[in-house]
Amino acid sequence: MVRERMDDEKRDFVSIDDLGNEEILGLFRLADAYDEDLRAWASQCTGSILATLFFEPSTRTRLSFESAMQRLGGSIISANDGEVMSAAKGESLADTVRVVGGRYADIIVLRHPHEGAARVASRFADVPVINGGDGAHEHPTQTLCDLYTLWKEKGRIDGIEVLLAGDLKYSRTVHSLAYALARFGASLVCVPFPGLEIPKSVLERMQRDWGADVTRGEFSDISGLTPGKDAVYVTPHKPHQESLFTQITPPAREKIDAIYMTRLQKERLERDLDSKDYPSIDSEFLKETRFRDTRVMHPLPRVDEISYDLDQDPRAIYFRQAALGVPIRMALLAFLLGVVKLDAPLPERSSRPVYRSDAGINCANPACVTNGEGHRYLAPEFTILRDSPPLLRCVYCDLEVSPSLVGHVASKKLHRGNAAEAKRILPERRVYFEDEGQADSAGFGTGATS
């Protein structure tokens, strides 16, 4: 089932999920056309204005968007210092994008430290909003660039095998890329630096939403990449989905199509880590036969995780990867502005019910926008993934939570989360609670009745 787009329907790009697979491939083909001659499109978006609102530092993302817009013939307005923006005076993000999206600009690119901030902006702005990175959550335009690079290098995305290495916990580029690769049917090998493992919630989402098989095993067949041996393997389209973190010893990897290296995200670390053994790739590492056709990728900036002696190796494509950010962002801007149409169906809207309430549970993620910038005007909001026992996902930051108690908003009766009575309550009549103390504070009694 696909949706038809109304001509006046605003499209945002907050998550990689906001584009269907065929739309993504359509953008790749459009980017190829732009890339043939970047100077040939200067009349396509004449009169359009892009606003870049960056509450965190950026070089490649901001400059590539500004370059893309100017190559399309549009113009730029920028606010790129959070300390001097109106937010420093207490203005909410919602008010900022209302103003900027009023008459100032036709499209907004936002980078913000709070996870879910781009989702907030998309709801309050009258113009399309693009997520340029929201905390450690997602970076979907980098993912578009990464997928486009793989597609051009390998000719396809489905069936390829990609090794993700380094900081897999705080790297938002890794999270977005992992979701996209799972959707397209690629296989992943996740090899983290110890203490920076890919979040279990990311793996569970790949398993639940795209049918990926997620297993854990000893990673001993590629030495020298990491001091740890614990790896996670994600493979597509398995018939059984009960193998999350099953202990196995996978076969040796005969071929790796790409290694995606990430830097240590020091600015997001919650505690000090001894990084002296942080993994690094050099020419010596790539001498193994299995790496003959491997591409080495990196979202940049790099620190020491890729040796400079690798820069001249044709398998090192990280600077080409950065350069391709311009044509793919040209394609995205033109598409969201409605200048070009894609011969592709719209992604199907989720049919899962959504829970909204000022009472009951809150998102437990301290970096979530609901606990930060948006606490003044946003109510907690969760997608209901499972009724019994309850499993909810924050609409803004994607953190998943399992409430222990469910109450009826009218009767104030309280039930255990896995009780049959709780499941029978209509979603719009439910109130979810973390514990009895929270339920009691909301007037739902001191204990569950069933």
What are the tens digits of pLDDT across the range 312-358? 999 999 999 999 999 999 999 999 999 999 999 888 888 889 999 88
- What is d(CA 115, CA 40) in angstroms, rounded to the nearest whole number? 37
Domain that holds residue 386: 354-441
Point out the residues of the chain with pLDDT beneath 50: 1-4, 6, 84, 239-241, 247
Statement to judge: residues 331 and 361 lie in one domain: no
Residue-level pLDDT at 202? 86
Cα 285 from chain centroid? 30
What are the tens digits of pLDDT across the range 40-73? 999 999 999 999 999 988 888 999 999 999 999 9
Statement to judge: residues 200 and 300 lie in one domain: yes
Residue-level pLDDT at 7? 54
Which residue(s) pair with 430 in the sheet?
408
Residue 208 domain flag: yes
- 282, 301, 336: which is the final residue of a domain? 336
Statement to judge: residues 110 and 153 lie in one domain: no
Statement to judge: residues 258 and 400 lie in one domain: no
Statement to judge: residues 310 and 206 lie in one domain: yes
Statement to judge: residues 418 and 369 lie in one domain: yes
Residue-level pLDDT at 211? 85
Statement to judge: residues 64 and 23 lie in one domain: yes
409-412 LR contacts (CB < 8 Å, sep 24+): 409/357, 412/443, 412/444, 412/445
Residue 344 domain flag: no
Statement to judge: residues 85 and 105 lie in one domain: yes
- What is d(CA 189, CA 250) in angstroms, rounded to the nearest whole number? 11
Statement to judge: residues 304 and 227 lie in one domain: yes
Spatial contact of 55 and 135, defined as CB atoms under 8 Å apart: no
Q: How many domains does the chain have?
A: 3
- 282, 303, 336: which is the final residue of a domain? 336
Residue 245 domain flag: yes
* CATH number of domain containing 26: 3.40.50.1370
Residue 65 domain flag: yes
Spatial contact of 232 and 216, defined as CB atoms under 8 Å apart: yes
Model confidence, pTM: 0.89
Residue 346 domain flag: no
Residue-level pLDDT at 197? 86
Burial status of residue 352 (CB atoms within 10 A of its CB: 0-12, 13-18, 19 or more): exposed
Among 269, 333, 264, 251, which residue's Cα sits nearest to residue 302?
A: 264
What are the tens digits of pLDDT across the range 387-422? 889 999 999 999 999 999 999 999 899 999 999 888
Residue 9 domain flag: no
Largest distance between two CA atoms of the chain: 70
Residue-level pLDDT at 237? 60
Residue-level pLDDT at 241? 47
Residue-level pLDDT at 3? 43
Statement to judge: residues 162 and 121 lie in one domain: no
Residue-level pLDDT at 34? 98
Residue 68 domain flag: yes
Statement to judge: residues 203 and 120 lie in one domain: no
Residue 446 domain flag: no
* CATH number of domain containing 433: 2.30.30.20
- What is d(CA 52, CA 333) in angstroms, rounded to the nearest whole number? 13
Statement to judge: residues 96 and 171 lie in one domain: no
Residue-level pLDDT at 225? 62
Helix 140-154 × helix 21-36 angle, to 10°? 70
